[in-house]
Each structure stands twice: as structure tokens, then as C-alpha cells.
Structure 1
Amino acid sequence: MEKSHLESALPIANERNKASSRHVRQKLAWALIPLTLTYLTFSKHSPHMSAFHRPAINYTAQCIQPSALFPKDTPELSKAFDFISTPTFVNASIERLSGAVKIKTETFDDLGEIGVDQRWDVFYAFHEYLEKTFPLVHEKLKVEKVNTHGLLYTWQGSDATLKPTTLMAHQDTVPVPAETIPAWDYPPWSGFYDGKYIWGRGSSDCKNQLIATLETVSLLLSANFSPRRTILLAYGFDEETFGYHGAGNLSALIHSRYGDDGLAVIVDEGASFEEAWGTVFAKPGAAEKGSTNVEITIRSPGGHSSIPRDHTSIGILSELIYLIESTQYPTRLYDENPYFTQLQCGAAYSPEFDPKLKTLLDRRLHSGSDETSTCMAKHDPLALEAAKKGPEIKYLLQTSQAVDIISGGAKVNALPERAQAIVNHRINVGETAQVVFDHLTRVAAHVATKHNLTLHAFDGIEEPSSLILTHNEVLDPAPVTPSSPHPQTPFSILAGTNRAIYGSEIITTPGIMTGNTDTRFFWDLTKHIFRFAPGYDDSEGKEGMGNIHTVNERVSVVNHVNAVKWFMLFLRNLDEADL
């Protein structure tokens, strides 16, 4: 009886034990939750912890480099290419570029209408020079004058189904301020050749590219090359003053003929070659930052300055400028920014790539998303670390702001009733101009409230006792050019041409332009726009920038001749491609 009671009681005892065990497990589970969350958080934000649990990233696969790409040859084409390296061609090329530099083609912000303002007339002489210097090109190609001074050359291909290749450059240069002329080693319009460099305004921005493309076409014509794919040469004449008259009209004409996405590829002036982390990179500009100018106006009562208010319009404007410069835009590397790809290429091929950057890059890629896009992200560790290299990198990753113009006041002893400043912004890839407008509105609201001014932020209203924000032109960042090498793409052809000319040590990665080029008018015509100066002289180092827009602008002859070689192969490689 006791045994049977015991046996009948066993299941009850087991159920109690099970209940007790469940209770213990539940307590343990609840206790482990905070520990688990702590571990996950730590492992996510600690690259050292996460490294034990994540597979190594194959950066070479993230930055595939095509092999050197050579087009099919004929005896005539081979002879023409070899001719580029001869003293006969080099000396003649020096004369051609030097002659182009000698012709002043300055443009100014205050130019009037074409045909009225005589300063435009300098381009007539430049056109005459091109016709005299490249007679075969002007004989064989269709040449059109667009809006008087724009030049469009068309070399009609044999296959109308193939989209054209377009090479661009601009004829104009920035002015040479008279007060800077004594600082030049050689006169700025001399086109002087010192045995290595051709000196003068426009020698590297960008008459070198214009002359190189015409030399290339002339060589191809002399070799009886017959393109399948139409080749366009488009040369604007006011790129340095926003390009509306030149590239704006050229793009409209080209669009009327070929339509949206009607071109295979565009190559215009832009980035070139740069050594980083012990490796030489070719960095064709695949993106451009946006831009907008914001005008700030302070309206306050006037009066005699012997009885001033505590803060004049100039004082209030100065306070606002101080606040603007004290609150910079965040440093952020969005996934679409080409510099993100550059970092991956650096990790793949550069022996001196920064270990800390590598750790942060690993973490970013393992996260599987753009950390800067989450509402939780207060900062971007990868971008901040990259920006430590200096402003030339920082402003690839940040919207910049520069107070360029300030004015106010009419006379001593008279309180200024109006003060103005213009702030230039270059908008980060991944952002829009609205980021600028929102930021300035917030900062200006603080100052307006403090000084009892009415804020008119981009509403078009100006009245006394107010703080006014206005903008003229808004240009959001350019669409980013695809940089995938597979299947054969314009980018892979460009990269393959780089290796054909300069060897397999050259790594091609998409670059980014902090300024804007004439390609801003061509976005609808193709997705494949490269802002690229393909000439390279490995003896130059950082001198390869050519001192553009400043004293002693110059270009090395080796750089220029290599650009001709590059265009010679690039046009033929594209002609054979099925794009």
C-alpha cells in the first residue's frame, strides 16, 4: 500500500521537479538577456571582438582590375601609334600646345552678351589657329559652330546603331590677374618650353586635353582609321564661368540628335593619377559634388554712427558668419560615394594601407549597410578617420562652406542699413541642397530671434529689420557613373586602356570631383561620364596637378604625349566594344 502510494506519488514529484526546473531556466534566461545584448552591442561596435567571428573580406574581388586592353592593329595604325614617341611628333606637339597657350581665351564673370561684349571675340583667333594647325581634321570631320564659339566635331561612324563616343574639353581659361604676373617664372601667355614643361595659362586646364584629342583624331585619320562608332568632339568656351553659353548649348544640340542616354561614354577634363598608400591610382571622376550659393542679407535701421545701436547690420552679419563657420556639416561617407570604392581598392592593392582604416572598413562592410543612413548614427567613424589625412580628403566626404564675398556700408558715420555675404557650398555625394537650406535656416533663426529680426528663409521676401536667405542656382550632386568591370563596360575599357599605356601596376578606381565641369549639362545623355585627364608623368609627383588656376601653370610634355597615346587606344578600344 505504501509502495503503491509511493509509485502513484512519483509522477507528482516529477511534475514538481519539472516545474522547478522550468522556473530556474526562466530565471537564467532573463538573467542572460542583458549579458547577450551587451555582447552583441560590444561585438558590433568593437572591431577587435567582431574580427574573431567574421570571415575575411576579399578586397581584390571588391576592386577587380581588368587586364591591359589593346585594340586590333593594322600596319598603318601601329605605325601611327609608334610615331607618337618620335622626336618629330613630340617637337611638333610642343609647338601645337605652345601656340594654343599663346592665344588669350580668358573668360570673366561679368561678360555681356555674345556679339555685344567684345571680350568674347578672342575665340575667333583661337578657331583660326585650330583650323590652321589641324587641317586634316577640319577637312574630314563635320565642324559646327554652336552659339558662335562652341565647337562640335562629328566623325560619323559606319554603324548608326552604335552610340557615339564623346570627348570634351573647354577653350577658355581663368583670367591672369595683372598683379600676379611678376610671380610667374615665365610669362603666362608665352607657352614657353623649358625642356620639360610647357608654361602658361591653360596649359593644364585644359588646352592640353583639347589639343591632345585633336592630335589623336588627326593621327587616326592619317592612318586611314574608319570608326564604326561615331566620335564627337565637344569644346565649350565658358566652362570657367558656369558653361551656360558653351556646354549648355552644345548639350542641347547633341541631345536633339541622340536623345536621352544616346551617348556611349563621355570623357571630359578632371582627375588624374595619384599615389596613395604606396600605390599609383588612376582616379577618373565618376561623381561631382553639388553646389549652391546662398546670399545672406541683414536689413537694419540706419542713422548717424555717433549714436549707434549695440549691433549694426555688419555686426549681426559677422555674428552669423561666425556661427556658420563654427558649425560645419557632418563628415559622412555614403555608400554611393566613389571614395568608398577607393578605400576598398586601397585595402586590396596598397601595401601601406592604414591598418586603422582597414579595421573600420572591415566593420563597415560586415555591417551590410550604410551606417550613416541609420537614425542612430551620430557620426561616421570610417569617414572621420579618412578625413584625418587632410582637407583634400575631408571635403570628399563633407559638404563644404566658404564665405567668399561680403559687403556692407556706404559711408563712414552712416550706420549700414544693409549688409550681405555670399556663402559657396559644395554638396556631399549622398546629400542634396536641402541639407544646406535646412542647416542655414536653423542657424539664422537663432540670430534673427536674438536681434529681433524677421527671418525670411528662401521665401523671396525682403523687408526692413529682417534677415534674408536666398539662393540663385542649385545643383545637386551628379549621378554616380557605374564602375563595375563586368560585363565589358565603359569603366572596364577605360581601366584596361590605363594598363595598356602605363602597365599593370596602375590601379583604376572611381574618383570624385569637388568642383563642377561642363559635364553638368550632359547628365541625360549617358550614365557613363568620366572626368579624367589621362596624361601621366611618373616623374612629376604632386607637381602633376599643373598649378591650375594659379601662377606657374604648366604641363609636362611627357604627360601631354602620354595623353595622346591614351586617347589613341581608348577610341579604338571603344570602337570594338559592344556597348
Structure 2
Amino acid sequence: MPPPGQDPRWETMGLVHDYLAAEFPLINKTLSLAKVNTYGLIYEWTGTNSSLKPYILAAHQDVVPVNPETVSTWTHPPYSGFFDGESIWGRGASDDKASLTAIMLTLETLIQKDWTPERTIVLAFGFDEEASGIYGAKYLGKALEETYGRDAFAFIVDEGGGFKDVYETIFATPGVAEKGHADIKLEVTSPGGHSSVPPVHTTIGYLASLITEFEKNPYPVELARDTVPYDNLVCMAAHSRDIPRSLKRAIFRSGHSNAALHRFEKDFVLQDKFYSSLVGTTQAVDIISGGVKSNALPESAFAIINHRINTLSFVNETAARDTQTITSLAESLGLTLKAFGEDVIPESFYATSHCSSQSSSTSSSKGHIELSLAFNHELEPAPRTPTSGKESKPWDFLSGTIKATYYSHRAQGIKTETTATDGDNVDFDPRNVDGNTDTKYYWNLTRHIFRYNHKNAAYGSEIATGVHTVNENIPLDHYLEIIRFFTTLNNECR
């Protein structure tokens, strides 16, 4: 999609800005506002103590589109914001307008009560997070660094985890790391012609064989100590009240025995789709295209392979492994191979003794494979936010904020899905995030990035939230608790 100013579809973001100006007049009167690349928003509420580092509350204004074919299946119209007395329904109700409006409602209320911050508060709202943030957060990150400087912020809170029940224990799950990602384009070309005289393999046939080779060779899942996924498991073993004893023992034994670590990896991690996806680099063939007519041999076909990269790996390692995966097959099929700019199997390979049945003057390949980075949006794994030691003060503050929010919300006598009891406690399970938020453009601003907005998933929800699909909604009580979270955070961050 072309950038703002070159495509009229962006103009709907102007309506979002009009809404924010109308509904939050005190914010627009009290805070300074800078617009970045037309629709990115940076608000600043200047604190009274300039010696304290400011902090950022981030969210995104955009939502994923609604498939027109599904509109009739929604319980309430997808853009209505309908409130049925218990839940708010509509696209963005959970992702991510709940966070954005909770932040704005919190600050609007604090201004009404004549509250002023000691520490400067900065709001950063992107407008294309669902499309990788290339026009929104990417520009916001540069503008924030130019204005405030590198490592200028105490911490950043953006969309992400919430709290949930694990083995009868409530765990808050702030994201403190993110896997990297790379979209790899696998393209095959070969001579066309009439389909009445087909070769043994068409271009699409070659592509199918290559895709099968990828899926036969998934990335290894190797659990390593001192990683966020491993720390998740240790935390669960140490604090879950109802964890099976055998699982608890296996986790603790893995901490001091490599043999026990490998057994645990085999018996538990590899058997659990969720944990194995957190630990290893994943691959998924998500897009495929080829052919234009049923009686014409396709001259080209391609697939896009999405990778979420292990936090101990790199984009280059992923590219190298993909190349290695298909090199032998490419040779056996008689195809040349160019991978990320390098001729791995050049045409000259087939003009040598490798093709002994033909003279070198007539030998040639049957087609060509090219591996490349698909969209130039590849991303290395994110730096890990400190959660222990001398640099963990922001983590300690966030943990206290989460506990205070959880307990105070339940002390109000509000109907909730969870009720605090004498044995109820909130523990903390810092998480590795599979997806990437707008914070991927904010790494230079602080070492302390928390992907967390206090969404309630404890004991499950009776109504699915429908994020990115039909019937997206958020229960009112959950939304009120998010507001309470941001209120507590701002009140206590001094």
C-alpha cells in the first residue's frame, strides 16, 4: 500500500484523530501533540521533575480489516462498538482500541482531578501496526529518538500479554522479548509451452517438491537455559499450585543435568505445539502463486515462507538453513539455485562431468530457483528486557503495578471472573512474544520494553474475544480493569 498522501484509504485515520480531539478535549488542551508522517501521534504531558526519565505508553490506531463475506455472521455489526450490557463488540475492541482508549480515558480523568505527573508521560500511537508499522511506528521511533535522544526513556508499555490461570495459579505474562521474523520468497522458473506436451515436472510441480522438502525438515526445537521460554517453565514449576509432580520434577532436574534437559525437551516441549513454537524457529508456507491458464505451462511460480526466528538465532542463520534445506533436491531435479544473491548452483554446474550422460556443450539446467527476502521487513530477535539484577527496577515497578491493579479491582466488589482469596496470588511469568509489536522500532529508546496491557484471560472467558476474526469483543469488566491498570501505573510512577 502506498504511503500517506499517495493513497486515499489512509484518510480514514483523520476521522480517528477527529474522534480523539472531540472525546478527550482536556488532553488536547493540556498535552502537546506532534503528528508524524501525517497520522502518527506523539502526545507529551510534561512532568514537574525534569531529572526523571520519561516513559512511553504505546498503542496503535489501526485494526485488521473485516472480511466482507463474514459481516452477516457477526452478532453485532463489526464497526458499531455495540454495548450489550456486558461486552463491547466491534473490530478493534480488543486489538488495540481498548488499550488506546484506556490510556486516553485515564489521562483525561487525571486532568479532571487536577493531577499532574512528576515524570513526563509520552504517548506514541502508530497507525499501521497490523501492516508491520512501516509508515507509522517506524517514523515515530525515529522522531522520538531525534526529540528525546537514545536510551532516553525509563520504560515503554505497549500492547501484549495479560494475566491467566496456569495450574490454578494466576500468572501475569508481560512480553520481555520478541522472536525475529523473515518472509522468504521461494520462486521457481522454467520454460513454458502448451500443456498438451508437458515435461515430467512443471514449474508448479518443482515448487511443490521444494515446499514438501521444507515441511519434511522443520527447524530443530532445542530448549536452552537462560532463555525466556526456559525461564517460563521454571517459573511455572516454582509457583503453580496444581502442577503435576512429574512435570515439576522434570523441569527442576533439567536445570542441572543436560540429559534431563534433553529428556524434558523430548517428552514435553516437542509434544506441546505452543511451547515448541516459542522455543524454536518456525516456518509456515502462507502464500502461493503460479500459472495463468489451464492449457499453458506456467513459466513461474512462487511461495512465501514465514519464519518466526528463535531468540538465540539470526536472520542470516535462517537464510542459510533454508538454502541448505533445498540444495540437494535442487541438484537432483536439475535446477540452478541462487540464494540471497549468491549462485549456489550455477548454470555451469550442469555443463561439467556432473551430467555425464550428455556432452557438456548441450547440457543445461531444467529451470531455476531463487530464494530471497520477500518484503524487506525482516527483523532480528529483540533485545531482552532485564527482569533481575541491578537493571530490573522498571520490571519491579511493573510487577507491583500489576499486583496492585489485580487486587484493588477485586476489592471493589465488581463482578469478575476471578475472586481474590486468602490463597490467591499473582505470580509473574515474563514471556517471549511470537509476533512483533510496534516496539520493534523503539529498541534505541530504552532497554525496558514491556508488551503488556493487563487483559484478563484468567480461567478462560465464556465469550471468545474474536481477535482478528469474527465477533471481536471485550467484556466491560475487563476493559475497566485495563483502565485501572493504566491509572495505577501513572499514579505510582514517580
- TM-score for both structures, normalised by structure 2: 0.88
Residues 1:510 and 2:414 are matched in the alignment: no
Match of residue 469, structure 2, among 520, 541, 550:
550
Question: Where does residue 325 of structure 2 map in the other structure?
Answer: 443
Between the aligned partners of 1:450 and 1:224, the Cα distance in structure 2 is 74
Please list the CA deviations of residues 95-142 of structure 1 after superposition, one character each: whole Å capped at 9, or x if unmatched. xxxxxxxxxxxxxxxx22312211000011111111110111110000
The 3-state SS of whatever aligns with 2:123 is: strand
- Seen in structure 2, the aligned counterparts of structure 1 residues 535 and 411 have a Cα distance that, compared at 3 Å, is closer
How far apart are 1:486 and its partner, in Å?
6.1
Between the aligned partners of 2:463 and 2:118, the Cα distance in structure 1 is 34
Match of residue 280, structure 2, among 383, 389, 398:
398
- Equivalent runs, 1:66-105 vs 2, <5 Å: none
How far apart are 1:542 and its partner, in Å?
4.5
Question: Where does residue 451 of structure 2 map in the other structure?
Answer: 531
Unaligned runs of 5+ in 1: 1-110, 372-376
Between the aligned partners of 1:402 and 1:198, the Cα distance in structure 2 is 33
The 3-state SS of whatever aligns with 1:536 is: strand
Equivalent position amino acid for 1:502 in 2: Y
Question: Where does residue 488 of structure 2 map in the other structure?
Answer: 569
Match of residue 212, structure 2, among 317, 322, 328:
322
Match of residue 293, structure 1, among 160, 169, 183:
183
Q: Answer 1 or 2: which has greater strand percent.
A: 2
Question: Where does residue 403 of structure 2 map in the other structure?
Answer: 499
Between the aligned partners of 1:466 and 1:418, the Cα distance in structure 2 is 9
Match of residue 484, structure 1, among 382, 388, 413:
388
Question: Where does residue 335 of structure 2 map in the other structure?
Answer: 453
Equivalent position amino acid for 1:491 in 2: W
The 3-state SS of whatever aligns with 2:385 is: coil
Equivalent position amino acid for 2:167 in 1: W
Between the aligned partners of 2:83 and 2:284, the Cα distance in structure 1 is 36
Equivalent position amino acid for 1:302 in 2: G
Between the aligned partners of 1:352 and 1:330, the Cα distance in structure 2 is 30
The 3-state SS of whatever aligns with 1:531 is: strand
Question: Where does residue 4 of structure 1 map in the other structure?
Answer: none
Residues 1:280 and 2:170 are matched in the alignment: yes
The 3-state SS of whatever aligns with 2:298 is: coil
The 3-state SS of whatever aligns with 2:153 is: coil
Between the aligned partners of 1:364 and 1:173, the Cα distance in structure 2 is 42
Equivalent position amino acid for 1:565 in 2: R
- Equivalent runs, 1:207-246 vs 2, <5 Å: 207-246=97-136
Match of residue 225, structure 2, among 325, 335, 344:
335
Superposed CA RMSD: 2.1
Question: Where does residue 310 of structure 1 map in the other structure?
Answer: 200
- Based on CA coordinates, which of the two structures has the bigger radius of gyration? 1
Between the aligned partners of 1:288 and 1:278, the Cα distance in structure 2 is 27
Between the aligned partners of 2:232 and 2:170, the Cα distance in structure 1 is 12
How far apart are 1:229 and its partner, in Å?
1.0
Between the aligned partners of 1:315 and 1:229, the Cα distance in structure 2 is 61
The 3-state SS of whatever aligns with 1:330 is: coil
Equivalent position amino acid for 2:65 in 1: P
Contact 1:537 1:544 in 2 (8 A): no
Between the aligned partners of 1:184 and 1:322, the Cα distance in structure 2 is 37
Question: Where does residue 84 of structure 2 map in the other structure?
Answer: 194
Residues 1:269 and 2:159 are matched in the alignment: yes
Contact 2:439 2:449 in 1 (8 A): yes
Residue range with higher mean Cα deviation, 338-347 or 557-566: 338-347
How far apart are 1:457 and its partner, in Å?
1.2
How far apart are 1:291 and its partner, in Å?
0.4
Equivalent position amino acid for 1:148 in 2: T
Between the aligned partners of 1:180 and 1:143, the Cα distance in structure 2 is 37
Please list the CA deviations of residues 238-271 of structure 1 after superposition, one character each: whole Å capped at 9, or x if unmatched. 0011101111111111101222211100000011
Q: Between Structure 1 and Structure 2, how many residues are aligned?
A: 456
Between the aligned partners of 2:129 and 2:263, the Cα distance in structure 1 is 37
Between the aligned partners of 1:494 and 1:482, the Cα distance in structure 2 is 12
User: Percent same amino acid at aligned positions?
Assistant: 41
Question: Where does residue 123 of structure 1 map in the other structure?
Answer: 13
Residue range with higher mean Cα deviation, 496-505 or 291-300: 496-505
Q: Answer 1 or 2: which has greater helix percent.
A: 1
Between the aligned partners of 1:415 and 1:488, the Cα distance in structure 2 is 60
Question: Where does residue 3 of structure 1 map in the other structure?
Answer: none
Contact 1:485 1:491 in 2 (8 A): no
Question: Where does residue 205 of structure 1 map in the other structure?
Answer: 95
Between the aligned partners of 2:461 and 2:382, the Cα distance in structure 1 is 27
Contact 2:102 2:479 in 1 (8 A): yes
Residue range with higher mean Cα deviation, 481-490 or 188-197: 481-490
Contact 1:331 1:394 in 2 (8 A): yes
Question: Where does residue 413 of structure 1 map in the other structure?
Answer: 295
How far apart are 1:343 and its partner, in Å?
1.5
The 3-state SS of whatever aligns with 2:297 is: coil
Equivalent position amino acid for 1:467 in 2: I
